[in-house]
Structure 1
């Protein structure tokens, strides 16, 4: 029996669906281990929505068994990993989409969290070039998600916690970006940040944990701005702008388009925080507004 780490047990408290999923995890993991002929090879860990187990294959190859919570954001992770074929991303060895399970090459635990931020931004910008392959008909479109979010902005109260000027600006920019087809859609990771890039043997750094969509590559920047927040909280404006410019320059992105997507994405995030009642992190809404302001002040 594969033991569950404490973090997975805590997931059960998120609601009935989570509790059911956690309860089934041990038997799911055992069935997958038998299916792929792997055995545990280290202590299991967990991400925000997944169990990860170091394993060895029947041939002695080190790998990682990942079982994800069944949610729409990550249901097509295996498709993106197949499209990338290990170029810029962790290599997919096998997948069981019905169980939201993946068998992946094993990378090192070191990520970009301790790498100087300018260097980390340059690494991620380099990964963009490998990951932004032509759009796939199997993936959802970013434009449809942004259209829904933009429509929802109209329901925000004028005197709410998000400055109305930002709400109106994001609504306008969202409509303009959806209508503008001058930049071809590509496969985009959508959650590429410091903790989702791990050190590897066949390449210095490789992306993990995509939540893939077809969309404008300029959409990718925002997670690099809102993560590692403690590093820039003393001077948010300069910290966000420094990261923004490093990413734009290293990736060869259009400045205005990248800025517009950051504003749209952060205001949508703030709106969802308002709708969710801020959840367990009341500082998240403040962070969203701060990033949206910093890229344009």
Structure 2
């Protein structure tokens, strides 16, 4: 099987990726044989997975997704099982030990061609359907947040981040965990943005690629702010105003508490910056200085 050139380029990420890529063609073949699937088009890929259009033994169009094993994707199948196609792509079969999912076939169109505020409205409209009580096996958000807060607090004072924002994020992170609202144990997608919502036949739009955690639904909006960045930079008006329009659109449509959502955005953006400082060689969507600037800009815009 011929893998996309862009996927093969991920070998530069290190030996674990080389090993996974070497094994991938045989793994895809094994899964097709075991699950009685036939190829139905060229493979595509994202940042951590390959997706192969297939048809089931009964002729149903489907998509075989095989991912590079990593913690964020370990419980994807559990979230999709729990949603059972309500607001999200339907899971047909899973082998979590091989990071393999058989999914309903969606269309390639995502929300990126829509006006960004329309996209924000659609994503925020999915929240109520996705933010159901989380099953007990889903990892909780709170322990992650407390660990991130400790790591932020340990940053040296000369780290290339405004110290005021770092301290604010530490305080907010700990306060948000301590004051989680009743019913706060919700199933979160955590990476819901334009590229992770695809057009479908049975519904206009469905969410894909969750990185699930259980926690406060106000954690969810931040990816809508840091994505589609070039549109904010090159569009009319200021980046700050564009970010604020997106933020308030999501808050209003989803009926979120503005202050709580704002605090989570600040925490998430400073954690994003922290991760880059911890792993400067890691994959980020922009050069280092630009990415840190973006994180700081988002954090400031929602509270100015």
Q: Same fold (TM over 0.5)?
A: yes
**1:128 maps onto 2:131 in alignment:** no
Distance 1:253 1:35 in 2: 45
Please tell me the root mean square deviation across aligned C-alpha atoms, in Å: 1.0
Residues 296, 278 of structure 1: alpha-carbon distance in 2 compared, 3 angstrom cutoff: farther
Note if contact 2:180-2:216 (Cα within 8 Å) is conserved in structure 1: no
CA positional deviation for 1:279:
4.3
Distance 1:157 1:278 in 2: 20
1:53-202 counterparts in 2 under 5 A?
A: 53-183=52-182, 184-202=184-202
Judge which range, 179-188 or 74-83, deviates more: 179-188
CA positional deviation for 1:277:
2.2
Note if contact 1:266-1:292 (Cα within 8 Å) is conserved in structure 2: yes
Counterpart of 1:247 (choices 224, 245, 250) is 250
Runs of 4+ in 1 over 2 A off after TM superposition: 277-281
Deviations 1:169-221 (A, max 9, x none): 00000010011132421000000000000000000000000000001111000
Where 2:27 maps in the other structure, the secondary structure is: helix
2:279 aligned residue: 276
1:256 aligned residue: 259
Deviations 1:224-269 (A, max 9, x none): 0000001112421001100000000000000000000000010111
Distance 1:200 1:26 in 2: 28
Note if contact 2:131-2:187 (Cα within 8 Å) is conserved in structure 1: yes
Q: TM-score, normalised by structure 1?
A: 0.98
CA positional deviation for 1:93:
0.5
Q: How many residues align?
A: 296
Note if contact 1:278-1:285 (Cα within 8 Å) is conserved in structure 2: no
**1:45 maps onto 2:48 in alignment:** no
Q: TM-score, normalised by structure 2?
A: 0.96
Where 1:65 maps in the other structure, the secondary structure is: strand
